[in-house]
Chains A and B, each alone.
Chain A
Amino acid sequence: MYRLLIEPFAAGYMQRALIEAVMLGILGGVIGVHVVLRRLEFIADALTHTVFPGMAAAFLLGGSLYVGALATGALSAVLLTLLTRHRRVTSDAALAVLLTGFFSIGVILVSRSRSYTADLTVLLFGRVLAVDPAEIATTAVTGLFVLGVLWMLHKELVLQAFDPATAEALGYPVTTLDLVLNVLITLVVVSAVRAVGSVLVIALLITPAAMARLLVHRSVGQMMAVGAALGALGGWLGLAASYEGSVHHGWRLASGATIVLALTALFVVVLTATGVGRAVRRRSSRPSTTPGASAAAAVPV
């Protein structure tokens, strides 16, 4: 156990990777609860793709990937809001077109460079093993900011997620709150993109929160705590598995993708365990179960 889970992190680069992965897991797990409760999965997926052209441009011009990603991320957040208000176009079709269009512009930009395929791979799949202290600091600062805003607006955001009509009637600035949440998701995407790559960020945003929702029914705050713990656990297990496979068995396992697989495996375990648990409970108390209540409606603030 020690050799599998602790020993890999003796080297400095593995420690930095672990710190980055755990921070992103916590961050993704917390904000992911909002994503999952509001069914923003596709929006989050779109954001992970639309930051790509900015990163590609920054990459080619030698600028900061962070700033580049932030620029197109902000632009696409505005375009998303405008497009989804168009009556004739369903929001999912608009998202798909925006996502593929932006992403393709990014690929075209990169395809002008000579080391095309290698560049694309780095941009898409990140390089968590090459994270430097400055990047860790950026992630930490961004993370604290995002968690701080989520903490301050917790009541408003949760009420709006479950009961938008009441939130509006109470005079909450609904559109501004939506925009704030989208910007926070963008910030998380941007800070995660360099480590795990633009394509795999989506797993950090959805999978831990989906598990938390299966496990916790009491409050959104607890869901966030569980999501953060599971996100961090996935980062740790994934890095350890990728190290074990690469160093001791000669399988080259891409580290970012292995983290995602670890999260997916945890999800399957949680899904099976909660399914079995429900079946057992149903059998022991057959007359008094109320399976009709949907998961969303059953969770108070």
Chain B
Amino acid sequence: MTGIGDTFASPLMQRALLEALMTGALAGVVGVHVVLRRLSFFTMSLTHATFPGLVIAEILGISLFTGTAAFGLLVVGVIALLGRARSVDSSTATGVVLAGGFALGVVLISSQPGFSRDLTAFLVGSILTVQTADLVTTAVAGVVLLGVLALLHKELVLGAFDPAGFAAMGYRVLVLDLVLLVVIELTVVTALPAVGTILAVALIVAPAATARLWTDHIGVSMAVAAALGAAGGAIGLGVSSHWDIAAGPTIAVVVASAFAVSLIVSPRHGSIGRLRRRRSGPDSLDTGIPRSAGIRTA
């Protein structure tokens, strides 16, 4: 490679790098909550169902962030309502909303000129065309969202591990859950124009899932996930510009590879570690413990 300095010499690449670093860090932190509560499918659904908001905002000529945020809140409401209806399973509701919302976006966009170009940008993002205003939006949204998560940290973690105890202590579970869903949705909305749907999911889930393989501590795993997300963004950008391939998907492959490698080599939870422990005798910790148990809270 011709040196990192050359790759990021142009203002275009510098803006892209800044966006990747900020989005990666924000998504990493939010992702720990997503992974703890098993909301990955929900997040996937949010990214797809928010698509019509993006298209409508573009057609009406209003700010992309405002348009998608407003539509995104509507989507959160619909999924939450559908999921609470006894007759529809929540993952079925998530799937129906995912497909229906996405199709609505496709139909809207197919009536506009430039169909395939816009669609591609939406799916895989266009991080190289990020403007200074986008950077400011990302920075402000990031600070606000991280602030909310920091303020509610203890409550959110407790709610994830022990909903019953949490409710018994007099907290309002529904309100707190809704706050978290809105935070996730706003993270998606912030990330969407730059990184696209698929990468948004990758940046939210992969670094957090990787961090969980290395540490049991929630606070530490947030820091690790943020660092992984940011590093994945920088490395992915460098690789994509060097080999002239699409930037967004390259970042996604980088963070997914970090997860795959960690699955094998992480000392406590990786395949190698487990094999070694198995050889040294039966490990009672390795059997029958539910997946979410055994994590210390911050």
Which A residues lie at the B interface, using CB under 8 A?
A: 36, 39, 41-42, 44-45, 49, 83, 86-90, 92-101, 103-105, 107-108, 111-112, 116-118, 120-121, 124-125, 199-200, 202-203, 206-207, 210, 213-214, 251-254, 256-258, 260-261, 263-264, 267, 271, 274-275, 278, 291, 294-296
Residues of A within 8 A of B85 (CB): 271, 275
Contact B256 A100 (CB under 8 A): yes
A interface, over-half SS: helix
Total contacting residues, chain B, CB less than 8 A: 62
- Which single residue of chain A is at the shortest CB-CB distance from B288? A87
A207 touches B41 (CB 8 A): no
Assuming the A-B contacts A108-B249, A111-B249, A199-B102, are A253 and B111 also in contact, with contact meaning beta carbons closer than 8 angstroms in the complex? yes
**In the complex, are the beta carbons of A104 and B256 less than 8 A apart?**
yes
Interface centre among A86, A97, A121, A291 (most CB of B within 10 A): A97
Quick one: which of B202-220 are within 8 Å of A by CB? 202, 205-206, 208-209, 212-213
* Pick from B107, B123, B246: contact of A253, CB under 8 Å: B107
B10 within 8 A of A: no
Known contacts: A254-B106, A271-B88. The answer to whether A104 contacts B117 by CB under 8 A is no
Interface of B is mostly: helix
Of the candidates B110, B213, B289, which one forms a contact with A252 in the assembled complex, judged by CB atoms under 8 Å apart?
B110
Kindly identify which residue among B35, B86, B116, B202 contacts A101, using a CB–CB cutoff of 8 Å: B202
In the complex, the chain B residue whose C-beta lies closest to that of A197 is B106
In addition to A87-B289, A104-B256, A261-B104, 4 A-B residue pairs with Cβ atoms within 8 Å of each other are A39-B92, A88-B213, A206-B92, A264-B96
Establish whether residues A96 and B107, one from each chain, have CB atoms under 8 Å apart when the complex forms.
no
B286 interface residue (CB < 8 Å to A): yes
Q: Are B95 and A100 in contact (CB under 8 A)?
A: no
Closest Cβ of chain B to A16, distance in Å, is 21
Asked if B99 and A206 make an inter-chain contact with CB atoms under 8 angstroms apart, the answer reads yes
Question: Does A100 lie within 8 Å of B41, measured CB to CB?
Answer: no
Question: Shortest Cβ distance from B96 into chain A, in angstroms?
Answer: 5
Q: A residues within 8 A CB of B103?
A: 200, 203, 257-258, 260-261, 264
Nearest-neighbour CB distance to chain B for A85, whole angstroms, equals: 11
Given contact pairs A207-B99, A264-B99, A39 touches B110 in the complex (Cβ within 8 A): no
User: In the assembled complex, which residues on chain A have CB atoms less than 8 Å from the CB atom of B263?
Assistant: 83, 86, 89
Is B120 located at the chain interface by the 8 A CB criterion? yes
Closest Cβ neighbor of B94 among chain A residues: A41
* Among A87, A98, A200, contact of B291 (Cβ-Cβ < 8 Å): A87
B115 near A: Cβ within 8 Å? yes
Name the contact of B292 in the complex, choosing from A36, A90, A100, A111 (C-beta under 8 A): A90
**CA of A231 to CA of B91 in the docked complex: distance in angstroms?**
19
Residues 174 to 208 of chain B near chain A (Cβ within 8 Å)? 198-199, 201-202, 205-206, 208
B289 engages A93 (CB within 8 Å): no
| Assembled-state Cα–Cα distance A118/B120 (Å) | 9
Question: A224–B38 Cα gap in the complex (Å)?
Answer: 29
- What is the CA–CA distance of A100 and B250 in the complex, to the nearest angstrom? 11
Q: Which residues of A contact B38 (CB under 8 A)?
A: 90, 92-93
